[in-house]
């Protein structure tokens, strides 16, 4: 069995704590590696070394730093299949999905090739007599990225690329369930020219996260994960005087209006609800058909499509629709929530609880489920299920559907399917959710926009990637200056002084 390591000062380094986490292959249920869990002392050492390395990196001009991003981008492209294989083996997602995970992270690296543009400051000429003002963006120092299991390439890249391109050093703490990809990213960015120590990968659990939050040298924390942990990290980081942006969980609704193209809406719901086994923060987990006829038609179309979904291990070929859940606990939790939905009176139209994957009986598989007649009081509506379960809440009108979305405590993504531009525009304008799709089920913004939810889906300020990321990972300094020699008060040029 493999024993994994940390990445410190440009090399793999074993752990000293004697504590390890099991890393599973979710398709087989086997433990495939042991991951060392760092102590606070190991973290403090990694931070101190990063602080030393950061000084030289910050003094490297932005264009040179951008060239490291260019080389890194090329290497990510060349190693796409290798990275995808590691992601699929640890996470269970299909290979096309794993390649998409790398691709969406790579797109953020590509935008960071334009770091000099994002980092250039502002200038006011003659703000007063002979007075100029300029502002510059300076790196924060050592920053930390704490990431979830479900996008082992994309989210670490969302954190690393803008932080490093801005001249910071980063402590990356990947999920202990899918750590392999982060180590490969560290190796590739070293090959691309990043100096040793500027990126440190420290593996661990709560102990190391708390050590990050309490370390005085760490200036900022970028977190992505579940809402309770996001809220905890935001609170502790802010109390300790750090800049923090913490992105949390989601419950994303898709409204289907009576005038929508019902086949397209059903296709979209199946892809967005069951893709990656529902383990996406932008998955659609609630369908909201408007009107009884819409709901009945949608249920029929969804049911026939769901029955054709192919569940399997990533090794079974590219036509597999989704794989297992991340752990046996995650699978049991999802099964328990489905049981609860039945007890609470929702109609279980498709039941995936008893699905068994032949030849992979110990894997963490569960089949797709569909609930109809769900109400907002039910646990399956209130909880983020994070599994292949789509729930349908019927609404009598657009206003009722909109109110449902607005009243939900999460606000990551949402979508509407309609042929009516007025309704779509009203929805986009009024809904209190950060990312909105119009006839588009998973509206993850492209990498030169920014990504972020509202309400309990995000704590702190500014979004991830795009221009916001450069703002988050830098602080602004503004200089007001004037020069006395050769200038008369009042701003006229003193020609005599030139003689």
Site residues (vs ligand NAD, CB under 6 A): 146-151, 173, 175-176, 205-206, 209, 224-226, 229, 247-250, 281, 384, 386, 412, 453, 457
Q: How far is the CB of 147 from ligand NAD (least distance, A)?
A: 6
Q: How far is the CB of 232 from ligand NAD (least distance, A)?
A: 6
Tell me whether residue 99 or residue 394 sits nearer to ligand NAD (CB atom): 99
293 vs 273: CA distance, rounded Å:
21
Q: How far is the CB of 342 from ligand NAD (least distance, A)?
A: 24
Tell me whether residue 341 or residue 413 sits nearer to ligand NAD (CB atom): 413
Q: How far is the CB of 282 from ligand NAD (least distance, A)?
A: 8
N-terminal to C-terminal alpha carbon distance within the chain? 81
26 vs 93: CA distance, rounded Å:
9
Tell me whether residue 173 or residue 243 sits nearer to ligand NAD (CB atom): 173
155 vs 248: CA distance, rounded Å:
13
Tell me whether residue 72 or residue 151 sits nearer to ligand NAD (CB atom): 151
Q: How far is the CB of 453 from ligand NAD (least distance, A)?
A: 5
Tell me whether residue 104 or residue 394 sits nearer to ligand NAD (CB atom): 104
273 vs 282: CA distance, rounded Å:
9
Catalytic residues: 281
Q: Looking at beta carbons, which residue is closest to ligand NAD?
A: 225
Contact 183, 203 (CB under 8 A): no
Contact 369, 352 (CB under 8 A): yes
Q: How far is the CB of 280 from ligand NAD (least distance, A)?
A: 7
Tell me whether residue 363 or residue 453 sits nearer to ligand NAD (CB atom): 453
Beta carbons within 10 angstroms of residue 97's beta carbon: 23
Beta carbons within 10 angstroms of residue 442's beta carbon: 18
141 vs 217: CA distance, rounded Å:
8
Tell me whether residue 32 or residue 226 sits nearer to ligand NAD (CB atom): 226
Q: How far is the CB of 69 from ligand NAD (least distance, A)?
A: 22
């Amino acid at each position: 069995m493999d024993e994994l390591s940390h990445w410190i000062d440009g090399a793999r380094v074993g752990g000293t704590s004697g504590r390890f986490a099991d890393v599973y292959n979710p398709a087989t249920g086997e433990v495939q590696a042991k991951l060392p869990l760092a102590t606070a002392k190991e973290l403090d050492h990694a931070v101190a070394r990063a602080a030393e390395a950061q000084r030289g990196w910050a003094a490297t001009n932005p264009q040179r730093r951008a060239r490291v991003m260019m080389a890194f981008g090329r290497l990510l492209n060349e190693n796409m299949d290798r990275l995808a294989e590691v992601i699929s083996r640890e996470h269970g997602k299909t290979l096309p999905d794993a390649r998409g995970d790398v691709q969406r992270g790579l797109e953020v690296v590509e935008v960071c090739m334009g770091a000099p543009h994002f980092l250039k400051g502002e200038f006011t000429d003659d703000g007063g007599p002979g007075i100029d003002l300029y502002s510059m963006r300076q790196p924060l120092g050592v920053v930390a990225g704490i990431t979830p299991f479900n996008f082992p390439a994309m989210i670490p890249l969302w954190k690393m690329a803008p932080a490093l391109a801005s001249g910071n050093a980063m402590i990356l703490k990947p999920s202990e369930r899918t750590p392999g990809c982060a180590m490969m990213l560290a190796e590739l960015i070293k090959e691309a020219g990043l100096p040793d120590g500027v990126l440190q990968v420290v593996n661990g659990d709560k102990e190391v996260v708390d050590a990050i939050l309490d370390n005085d040298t760490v200036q900022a924390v970028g977190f992505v994960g579940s809402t309770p942990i996001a809220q905890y990290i935001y609170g502790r980081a802010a109390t300790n005087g750090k800049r923090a942006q913490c992105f949390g969980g989601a419950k994303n609704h898709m409204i289907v209006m009576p005038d929508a193209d019902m086949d397209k809406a059903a296709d979209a719901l199946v892809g967005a609800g069951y893709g990656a086994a529902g383990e996406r923060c932008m998955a659609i987990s609630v369908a909201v058909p408007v009107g009884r006829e819409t709901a009945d038609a949608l249920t029929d179309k969804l049911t026939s499509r769901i029955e054709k979904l192919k569940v399997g291990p990533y090794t079974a070929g590219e036509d597999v629709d989704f794989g297992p859940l991340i752990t046996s606990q995650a699978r049991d939790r999802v099964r328990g929530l489905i049981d609860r939905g039945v007890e609470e009176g929702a109609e279980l139209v498709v039941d995936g609880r008893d699905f068994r994957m032949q030849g992979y009986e110990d894997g963490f598989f569960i089949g797709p489920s569909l609930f109809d007649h769900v109400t907002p009081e039910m646990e399956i509506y209130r909880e983020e299920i994070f599994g292949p379960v789509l729930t349908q809440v019927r609404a009598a009108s657009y206003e009722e559907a909109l109110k449902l979305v607005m009243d939900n405590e999460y606000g990551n993504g949402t979508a509407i399917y309609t042929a009516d531009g007025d309704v779509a525009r009203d929805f986009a304008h009024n809904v209190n959710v950060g990312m909105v799709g119009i006839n588009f089920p998973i509206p993850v913004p492209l990498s030169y926009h920014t990504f972020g939810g509202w309400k309990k889906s995000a704590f702190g300020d500014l979004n991830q990637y795009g221009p916001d990321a450069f703002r988050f990972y830098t602080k602004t300094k503004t200089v007001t200056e004037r020069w006395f020699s050769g200038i008369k008060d009042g701003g006229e040029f003193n020609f005599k002084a030139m003689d």
